[in-house]
Chains A and B, each alone.
Chain A
């Protein structure tokens, strides 16, 4: 595929806009710049985000702050055990007067869909959402409806050990580009948060800093970023390592490798670079890979987590050195 590399002007715009979005989000989510950065990167890479943590740490707030920072449509679904697929996608209602069915789109028809506590819904409903995520379209009563672009699902879930939950199967977890854990804020960040919440809701004060067109352009820019041959090999090396690691029962899928590179491009563009560095890949390895992998029985018994395995793999996988060998891509630059 031959495509022009993003121009410096495009990259500047990209970095500037991304910074503004991050700034808006950080005014709400205090003390977690890294979390905000990864969230924005996943959004600009057209991925879907899974936020997993205990209740009350700000999963939904993070999703909402992103939605509010961008002038776009937002749908929010609170998943419950009795939620039906049609509650998500919408229903066709028969209009007696016109003698025809009228489609009432569900909350999934939005640029940003916040799916709260996705693991509380029944598997049937979960899979309906996941289908939308993968296809960016939905079919109701034989009619296919395109979902708006960009389309981002931010799903939150409680750790599966909690009561009344249906764990997402591996195949469905694989659809999420990244899983982030919000975690408890640092002590002073928590104090700051208390002070902010004292007088007003900071979320209400967030104003949109970008619109859908801008985001669409940025998504295009990110995809055209340069990734050296060595970087691609490095991504594949990491994916292969997860497949052969004795501590892991299930390794990374090729889809995982694709999404890792795509997300790394967005992250690199946010830094104003026109090329991907191994640092980008390493930063994203755990968020992008961890939720797709399964630890082996031995690893579980020994108390090793998947995150530890990935960290170990990153620490031992050799960096690409001969990255300049990527001749075809360079010719594309010249042309």
Chain B
């Protein structure tokens, strides 16, 4: 069986080459998700070496599984050598506990990066290792099914797994790359095809099967797509279309008069400020809060009740903190304005100059006109925020009174918005549930799409226009949530500031906030917790919502209570430059993960399903191989299966004689004997005919005559082999050609 279906000779080399290109194309798509780095070179080199090893092994070894087994061994050794050593270059892997521990730490680091990274992810050494392992595993799997087992179609599954990150985050991989991926797959299918089938009936049946399968896949994909888009995190699947670069050296000043009608202009990557510490711990940085909205624009609104010197812990009311404070050094680069960017959590500020604290607006105001070039130190004492504590909390009134934060502008559609808000929060029991309902509604990609270009105004109510057009950016999302929260009775205000910075490529533990991170978000007032940030803007720009406001967070209670120091894996000694292990702090409340955990779990699940499927296919084949047929009936069934692989098929209603006739006529098909193609030798054919007759007689006697055939196992095996021999000869000759 394996002899007749083996891929060998030129076809083997061609298949391998096509497969290498296919895997490379899929691997290349990963660079749209993960920033380029040494991993690309390592992966390509490893892939080429592995492919060469496997193809040489396949020339020598006949078993389909043995080369893959050797390939796995070589891959493990290679990866261990590359990543298990103390240096970043290749070293001979030593099977010591330290090597294993280093590899384990790298895996943990890779996982951490995947969960917390922001697309395009800055690769850590752990992630690099996972990527290289991924490409090697993909090649091993695809090669086994396509070349080893001759099932080119199944090779699409491992390839798809490698494509899936880029595809599921809708990264722009480029048409040429997609074309290469598709073409190589089709080539692979053609190359691993069992036999040229020229039988009209077979062709029609196959075409029908293919069309049916294509239709099913299309329907399935559409159904899955619409289901997936209903999930809240699917908002992250949207690509920014006009995050244009702005080449300007002028410093940026955050506008306090937000206009709901203004399109968002391109924003640059210029660093506005940078800070050291952990990205997870600091959360969003806020400069201003806004309270009054007139239906079109936001105004400062809340009048300050008096400024106090910014000494000690700065927070509007008594802050309850139990954790160790976190100290962050901030350097303001190209940011203008007199407000100090500070986290929306209780904090103390140490900075040169005179600083005043406005408790009403929770802003820190400098006496100087600009914070540009300032260095300051933040001591952050985060509140204990979790879904559970907020669930137990209720909407409260800020010290200066709730009226200001419940005021909504009277427009033609304020009643409509209010009705919509009531409809959204229907069924939500607590203030927290209502807030989450509003947030989920706005984050749902079914309802809204992130767009920096706004639709033309239709009514006098910008919020209503946004809610009906479904297009907007952070200001629209935040405003809509703020107003709707007010309409259901939760005091709410707008906050303006920055999302957490991205890690600096060169400096460890340094995070850079650029103009891209400029952001607006709503804050809702809770009686006990105070002002709490929510995140209605879809995840592509903002990442996951704060963990306390994330209905899909793993276990907010557990992670919120982990003390700062113990949750942090002791920094891996082996990590190279740029290999920061991001610390998972106890205060992950404002943490922003660009890659949602659910999506990661989906990809992992897909790969697991793939592996199980592969295992089943192998198991089935092995089982078939192990069992030696017993008696004429089983040998007949074996012959039928084998011949089916040569395109000679018959139904359960076909008698043995008719089947024998089919075999003879198939062998002398014009297609197989046309000029230029080899003809089986006459002696071989005569042998096959005689064996076929004997086999048919044995089967008939066994089934229908009063006496069993008496044919021995050796006879039967020899007959089946003789019948298959001419076909194998033709098949091999076609392979060579």
Measured CB to CB, the residues of A under 8 A from B are 5, 226, 228, 230-231, 273-279, 282, 314-324, 329-330, 333
Which residue in B702, B704, B706, B707 is a CB contact (below 8 Å) of A277? B704
- A279: chain B residues within 8 A (beta carbon): 655, 657-658
Q: How far is the CA of A92 from the CA of B658 in the complex (A)?
A: 56
Binds A, one of B9-17, B45-53, B646-654: B646-654
Measured CB to CB, the residues of B under 8 A from A are 633, 651-655, 657-658, 700, 702-708
Which residue in A5, A277, A315, A316 is a CB contact (below 8 Å) of B700? A277
Q: How far is the CA of A318 from the CA of B655 in the complex (A)?
A: 10
- Interface SS majority for chain B: loop
Taking the nearest CB of chain B, how far is it from the CB of A329, in angstroms?
A: 7
Which residue in B654, B657, B703 is a CB contact (below 8 Å) of A324? B703
Which residue in A275, A282, A315, A333 is a CB contact (below 8 Å) of B704? A275
Q: How far is the CA of A330 from the CA of B706 in the complex (A)?
A: 6
Which residue in A273, A275, A282 is a CB contact (below 8 Å) of B655? A282
Give 11 pairs: A residue, B residue, CB < 8 Å, sorted on A: A228-B704, A230-B703, A275-B704, A277-B655, A277-B700, A314-B653, A318-B652, A320-B703, A323-B703, A324-B703, A333-B707
Q: How far is the CA of A322 from the CA of B631 in the complex (A)?
A: 12
For residue B699, which residue of chain A has the nearest CB? Answer: A321
Taking the nearest CB of chain A, how far is it from the CB of B663, in angstroms?
A: 16
| Number of residue pairs spanning A and B whose beta carbons lie under 8 angstroms apart | 54
Q: Are B654 and A275 in contact (CB under 8 A)?
A: no
Q: Among B654, B703, B708, which residue has the most Cβ atoms of chain A within 10 A?
A: B703
Q: How far is the CA of A317 from the CA of B705 in the complex (A)?
A: 21
Given that A279-B658, A324-B708 are contacting pairs, would A317 and B653 also be in contact in the complex, using a CB cutoff of 8 Å?
A: yes
For residue A278, which residue of chain B has the nearest CB? Answer: B655
Taking the nearest CB of chain A, how far is it from the CB of B581, in angstroms?
A: 64
Q: How far is the CA of A274 from the CA of B705 in the complex (A)?
A: 7
For residue A317, which residue of chain B has the nearest CB? Answer: B653
Which residue in A277, A315, A330 is a CB contact (below 8 Å) of B657? A277
- A273: chain B residues within 8 A (beta carbon): 705
Q: Are A228 and B703 in contact (CB under 8 A)?
A: yes
- A320: chain B residues within 8 A (beta carbon): 703-704
Q: How far is the CA of A273 from the CA of B651 in the complex (A)?
A: 25
Q: Are B655 and A276 in contact (CB under 8 A)?
A: no
Taking the nearest CB of chain B, how far is it from the CB of A34, in angstroms?
A: 16
Given that A318-B652, A319-B655 are contacting pairs, would A278 and B704 also be in contact in the complex, using a CB cutoff of 8 Å?
A: yes
Taking the nearest CB of chain B, how far is it from the CB of A239, in angstroms?
A: 15
For residue B633, which residue of chain A has the nearest CB? Answer: A321
- A317: chain B residues within 8 A (beta carbon): 653
Q: Are A319 and B706 in contact (CB under 8 A)?
A: no
Given that A279-B657, A317-B653, A319-B653 are contacting pairs, would A5 and B706 also be in contact in the complex, using a CB cutoff of 8 Å?
A: yes
- A318: chain B residues within 8 A (beta carbon): 652-653
Given that A278-B655, A315-B651 are contacting pairs, would A323 and B704 also be in contact in the complex, using a CB cutoff of 8 Å?
A: yes
For residue A268, which residue of chain B has the nearest CB? Answer: B704
Taking the nearest CB of chain B, how far is it from the CB of A328, in angstroms?
A: 11
Q: Are A228 and B705 in contact (CB under 8 A)?
A: yes
Which residue in B658, B704, B707 is a CB contact (below 8 Å) of A276? B704
Q: Are A324 and B700 in contact (CB under 8 A)?
A: no
Q: Are B655 and A329 in contact (CB under 8 A)?
A: no
Q: How far is the CA of A320 from the CA of B702 in the complex (A)?
A: 12
Q: Are B706 and A226 in contact (CB under 8 A)?
A: yes
Given that A279-B658, A321-B633 are contacting pairs, would A316 and B653 also be in contact in the complex, using a CB cutoff of 8 Å?
A: yes
Q: How far is the CA of A322 from the CA of B634 in the complex (A)?
A: 12
Q: Are B706 and A321 in contact (CB under 8 A)?
A: no
Taking the nearest CB of chain B, how far is it from the CB of A294, in angstroms?
A: 24
Given A230-B704, A316-B653: 17 more A-B contacts, CB < 8 Å:
A228-B704, A228-B706, A230-B703, A274-B706, A275-B705, A278-B704, A279-B655, A316-B651, A319-B652, A319-B654, A319-B655, A320-B703, A320-B704, A321-B633, A321-B703, A323-B703, A324-B702
- B652: chain A residues within 8 A (beta carbon): 318-319
For residue A273, which residue of chain B has the nearest CB? Answer: B705
Q: How far is the CA of A228 from the CA of B701 in the complex (A)?
A: 10
10 interchain residue pairs of minimum CB distance:
A323-B703, A318-B652, A275-B705, A226-B706, A333-B706, A228-B704, A278-B655, A323-B704, A279-B655, A275-B704
Q: Are B705 and A231 in contact (CB under 8 A)?
A: no
For residue B700, which residue of chain A has the nearest CB? Answer: A277
- B653: chain A residues within 8 A (beta carbon): 314-319
- A322: chain B residues within 8 A (beta carbon): 703
Q: How far is the CA of A329 from the CA of B706 in the complex (A)?
A: 8
Taking the nearest CB of chain B, how far is it from the CB of A52, in angstroms?
A: 27
Q: How far is the CA of A311 from the CA of B655 in the complex (A)?
A: 14
Q: How far is the CA of A230 from the CA of B700 in the complex (A)?
A: 12
Q: How far is the CA of A231 from the CA of B700 in the complex (A)?
A: 12
Taking the nearest CB of chain A, how far is it from the CB of B160, in angstroms?
A: 37
For residue B637, which residue of chain A has the nearest CB? Answer: A321
For residue B636, which residue of chain A has the nearest CB? Answer: A321
Q: Among A226, A273, A319, A333, which residue has the most Cβ atoms of chain B within 10 A?
A: A319
Q: Among B652, B654, B705, which residue has the most Cβ atoms of chain A within 10 A?
A: B705
Q: How far is the CA of A274 from the CA of B703 in the complex (A)?
A: 13
Taking the nearest CB of chain A, how far is it from the CB of B149, in angstroms?
A: 29
- B708: chain A residues within 8 A (beta carbon): 324
Taking the nearest CB of chain B, how far is it from the CB of A322, in angstroms?
A: 8
Taking the nearest CB of chain A, how far is it from the CB of B489, in angstroms?
A: 67
Taking the nearest CB of chain B, how far is it from the CB of A93, in angstroms?
A: 54
For residue B705, which residue of chain A has the nearest CB? Answer: A275
Taking the nearest CB of chain B, how far is it from the CB of A172, in angstroms?
A: 32
Taking the nearest CB of chain B, how far is it from the CB of A83, in angstroms?
A: 45
- A319: chain B residues within 8 A (beta carbon): 652-655
For residue A333, which residue of chain B has the nearest CB? Answer: B706
For residue B652, which residue of chain A has the nearest CB? Answer: A318
- B651: chain A residues within 8 A (beta carbon): 315-316
Q: How far is the CA of A80 from the CA of B657 in the complex (A)?
A: 46
Q: How far is the CA of A278 from the CA of B659 in the complex (A)?
A: 13
For residue A318, which residue of chain B has the nearest CB? Answer: B652
Q: Among A273, A274, A279, A330, which residue has the most Cβ atoms of chain B within 10 A?
A: A279
- B707: chain A residues within 8 A (beta carbon): 333
Q: How far is the CA of A279 from the CA of B700 in the complex (A)?
A: 10
Q: How far is the CA of A108 from the CA of B476 in the complex (A)?
A: 104
For residue B631, which residue of chain A has the nearest CB? Answer: A324
Given that A279-B657, A315-B653 are contacting pairs, would A226 and B705 also be in contact in the complex, using a CB cutoff of 8 Å?
A: yes
Q: How far is the CA of A274 from the CA of B704 in the complex (A)?
A: 10
Taking the nearest CB of chain B, how far is it from the CB of A109, in angstroms?
A: 39
Q: How far is the CA of A226 from the CA of B654 in the complex (A)?
A: 21
Q: How far is the CA of A279 from the CA of B658 in the complex (A)?
A: 8
Taking the nearest CB of chain A, how far is it from the CB of B699, in angstroms?
A: 9
For residue B707, which residue of chain A has the nearest CB? Answer: A333
- A333: chain B residues within 8 A (beta carbon): 706-707
Q: Among A276, A321, A322, which residue has the most Cβ atoms of chain B within 10 A?
A: A321
Q: How far is the CA of A53 from the CA of B700 in the complex (A)?
A: 36
Q: How far is the CA of A322 from the CA of B637 in the complex (A)?
A: 13
Taking the nearest CB of chain A, how far is it from the CB of B40, in angstroms?
A: 57
Taking the nearest CB of chain B, how far is it from the CB of A112, in angstroms?
A: 32
Taking the nearest CB of chain A, how far is it from the CB of B204, in angstroms?
A: 16
Q: Among B653, B704, B706, B708, which residue has the most Cβ atoms of chain A within 10 A?
A: B704
Taking the nearest CB of chain A, how far is it from the CB of B649, in angstroms?
A: 14
Q: How far is the CA of A322 from the CA of B655 in the complex (A)?
A: 13
Taking the nearest CB of chain B, how far is it from the CB of A89, in angstroms?
A: 42
Taking the nearest CB of chain A, how far is it from the CB of B140, in angstroms?
A: 41
Q: How far is the CA of A316 from the CA of B633 in the complex (A)?
A: 20
Q: How far is the CA of A158 from the CA of B101 in the complex (A)?
A: 94
Q: How far is the CA of A273 from the CA of B700 in the complex (A)?
A: 11
Q: How far is the CA of A320 from the CA of B704 in the complex (A)?
A: 9
Given that A315-B651, A318-B652 are contacting pairs, would A275 and B706 also be in contact in the complex, using a CB cutoff of 8 Å?
A: yes
Q: How far is the CA of A226 from the CA of B389 in the complex (A)?
A: 86
Q: How far is the CA of A118 from the CA of B651 in the complex (A)?
A: 41
Taking the nearest CB of chain A, how far is it from the CB of B267, in angstroms?
A: 69
For residue A276, which residue of chain B has the nearest CB? Answer: B704
Taking the nearest CB of chain B, how far is it from the CB of A13, in angstroms?
A: 19
Taking the nearest CB of chain A, how far is it from the CB of B153, in angstroms?
A: 28
Taking the nearest CB of chain B, how far is it from the CB of A64, in angstroms?
A: 33
